[in-house]
Amino acid sequence: MSKTPTLRKFFAQIPGTTNYTLTLSNNSYGYTTKCARAGQHYIIDRRKLNRGTAALNAGTAFHSAMEIRSKITNDQQRKDLQQQSIEQFFQLNPVDEFEWRTSDRILELVEKYDKKYKNDLVHTLKDSSGNPITEIKFTLPLGTIEVNSTVNFGGQEVFIKTLFVQWIGRIDDLVELDGQTWVRDYKTSSMFGPTYFNQFVISQQTMGYTWAARELGQDVAGAIIDLAVLRKPTPTGRPFDFDRQRFIYSHEQTDEWQENTLEGIATFISHLKSDFFPMTGTAEGCVFKYGKCPYFDVCSLPKSQRPEMLNSTQYADVCEHEESE
């Protein structure tokens, strides 16, 4: 029997004090930077859209196959385990009949990846026991915010003196290339062009992973983005592409990342103190190229009707496992 997911608690009181911890990941923090109200619904109300996207599911299945690739050296055993992992994932997360990102397509993507990188120059590091250093979960202190205010959590008022902010996440693996250590982050996309990698020059996510790896005592140079492109099949199109690029992040850059992130969280806390979370996203952020904000339907309603929508079956609780990425 599967364990019932535990509702995610972002805020936790430190026993015997009026101090609290706030634990955020790149994912949860991202809601606050896109829109203060989206941050409210995800972190304070702890509600998310009750469905995954096809692109996100494809990426998750591919990631699981890459984790197996890093750990299993026997070719046949690795292929068998990758196939089992992908098929089981899609059994739990079935796609509709018109969706092209199917288990068979992800399996083919993995096979093409293995073929391209058969003689790979990027090697996953191993620990002192000879185990590959993969799927590194971390919880690290990011900084403190002086609140000194009573705040409202779903109708319950609590006084917070000091907030101790923790940053959590999961690094895909640590790798070696050209005598340097790197954080590797696997990415999947259906679109790829000459400007794709520009976003990682100052990426919030990969800078955060680099910062975390250094806090864990790893002398990393930066991040390697390992991209797998899976396109919709067409008679003349190129269905698969692969590329990698390295991004060096100095200690000065990751120190600034820490400062920027803590300041961004402080801005979110200021909204919590005032008990008002404005819709701060731009029009392009509410309806964008790949869809619309997950809370678009909530914000489209009059204020008095929003709680009913947010607590409908269209939304679900944010659970622990979704915040360990």
Report whether pLDDT(274) > 80: yes
In a domain, 287, yes or no: yes
The values of phi and psi at residue 91, to 5°, are -65, -35
pLDDT band at 323; cut points 50, 70, 90 = very low
In a domain, 82, yes or no: no
CB 26 within 8 A of CB 325: yes
Q: Which of 281, 257, 277 is nearest to 267 (CA)?
A: 277
Arithmetic mean of pLDDT, 262-284: 88
Report whether pLDDT(324) > 50: no
Report whether pLDDT(129) > 80: yes
Q: Which of 272, 257, 289 is nearest to 36 (CA)?
A: 272
Report whether pLDDT(304) > 50: yes
Q: pLDDT at position 291, please?
A: 73
Report whether pLDDT(287) > 50: yes
Report whether pLDDT(305) > 80: yes
In a domain, 60, yes or no: no
Q: Give pLDDT tens digits for 170-207.
A: 999 999 999 999 999 999 999 888 899 999 999 999 99
In a domain, 33, yes or no: yes
Q: pLDDT at position 2, please?
A: 42
In a domain, 203, yes or no: yes
Instruction: Give me the residue label for tokens 């995954």.
Output: 52
In a domain, 115, yes or no: no
The values of phi and psi at residue 73, to 5°, are -95, -25
Q: Which of 239, 235, 248, 246 is nearest to 192 (CA)?
A: 239
Identify any residues that bridge with 182 across adjacent strands, giving them in sequence order: 175, 222
Identify any residues that bridge with 165 across adjacent strands, giving them in sequence order: 22, 143
Report whether pLDDT(283) > 90: no
Q: Which of 123, 141, 142, 124 is nearest to 133 (CA)?
A: 124
Number of domains observed in the structure of the chain = 1
Containing structural domain, residue 34: 11-51+121-323
In a domain, 174, yes or no: yes
Mean pLDDT over each residue of the chain, to the nearest integer: 91
In a domain, 16, yes or no: yes
Report whether pLDDT(3) > 60: no
Q: pLDDT at position 318, please?
A: 92
Q: 51 in helix, strand or coil?
A: coil
Q: pLDDT at position 322, please?
A: 55
Token couple for 298: 């909530």
Q: Give pLDDT tens digits for 239-248.
A: 999 999 999 9
Pick from 39-53, 104-118, 272-286 the range whose average pLDDT is largest: 104-118
Q: Give pLDDT tens digits for 139-169.
A: 999 999 999 999 998 788 999 999 999 999 9
Alpha-carbon distance values, 168 to 47, 189, 255, 323 (Å): 19, 24, 17, 8
